[in-house]
């Protein structure tokens, strides 16, 4: 089976969302950074605003610096996460390259993938740890944290069935 597709930033983000749902440790890690820290920052900011608006400024005399620090950490966490995702996506392609097409050839021996003029690689089925998929993305794990992403809409239903058959025959069931 041969595929040619464009991996967009939205597809890349979908791959990250799928990746973080694969293990409990990842779920906890991303929960802390994506939910808990921003929530604590929002609560600290809300309590500061409420205290100032209600005229109870003296309640914050001892903790306003701590609350301001929590808010700053929350804002920085959100901003840095967004910047790191964009940077990782940009690093998939050489600077200034507008052609972001991936090519893959998947057969009984393994997967040959390439970005024309940039990179080419081959992974045998014995080197694939697992495959995870949802309605947006298919991730083929070649290590614990490295995976090849294929947007699900880039494959026809016949190609998905063929991929599922190849995975069932060749990939030993291990969670990444």
Q: Is the pLDDT of residue 41 over 60?
A: yes
Q: What is the pTM of this model?
A: 0.83
Task: For the chain, give the mean pLDDT.
Answer: 89
In a shared domain, residues 156 and 104: yes
Both 16 and 85 in one domain: the answer is: yes
> How confident is the model at residue 175, as a pLDDT?
52
Neighbours of 147 (CB within 10 A): 23
* Position 53 in a domain: yes
Alpha helices in 21-156 (DSSP H): 24-31, 37-53, 64-90
Contact 152, 135 (CB under 8 A): yes
Measured between alpha carbons, how far is 159 from 169 in angstroms, rounded to an integer? 15
Distance in angstroms (rounded) separating the CA atoms of residues 93 and 164 = 28
Using the predicted structure, report yes or no on whether residue 13 has a pLDDT greater than 70: yes
78 shares its domain with 113 = no
Q: Taking a C-beta distance cutoff of 8 angstroms, is the pair 60, 51 a contact?
A: yes
Q: What is the dihedral of CA 101, 126, 137, 90, to 10 degrees?
A: -40
Domain count along the chain: 2
Q: Among the three residues 48, 74, 90, which one is the final residue of a domain in this structure?
A: 90
Both tokens assigned to 154: 């880039």
- Could you tell me what percent of the chain has a pLDDT over 90? 65
Please indicate, yes or no, whether residues 74 and 128 belong to a single structural domain of this protein.
no
The candidate with the shortest Cα–Cα distance to 149, out of 158, 159, 161, 136, is 136
Q: Is residue 175 part of a domain?
A: no
The answer to whether residues 2 and 102 touch, using CB atoms and an 8 Å cutoff, is: no
The confidence band for 40, taking pLDDT boundaries of 50, 70 and 90, is very high
Query: Mean pLDDT over residues 36-58, rounded?
Result: 87
Which of these, 90, 106, 88, lies nearest to 98 by C-alpha position? 90
Domain extent at residue 70:
11-90
């Amino acid at each position: 089976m041969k595929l040619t597709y464009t991996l967009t930033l939205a597809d890349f983000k979908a791959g990250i969302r799928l990746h973080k749902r694969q293990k409990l440790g990842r779920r906890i890690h991303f929960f802390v950074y994506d939910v808990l820290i921003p929530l604590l920052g929002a609560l600290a900011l809300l309590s500061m605003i409420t205290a100032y608006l209600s005229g109870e400024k003296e309640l914050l005399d001892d903790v306003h610096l701590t609350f301001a620090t929590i808010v700053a950490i929350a804002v920085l966490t959100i901003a840095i996460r967004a910047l790191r995702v964009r940077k990782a996506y940009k690093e998939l392609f050489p600077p200034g390259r507008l052609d972001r097409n991936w090519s893959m050839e998947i057969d009984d021996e393994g997967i040959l993938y390439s970005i024309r003029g940039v990179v080419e690689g081959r992974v045998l089925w014995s080197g694939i740890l697992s495959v995870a998929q949802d309605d947006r993305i298919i991730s083929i794990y070649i290590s614990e944290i490295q995976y090849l992403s294929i947007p699900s809409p880039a494959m026809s239903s016949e190609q998905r069935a063929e991929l599922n058959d190849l995975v069932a025959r060749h990939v030993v069931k291990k969670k990444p």
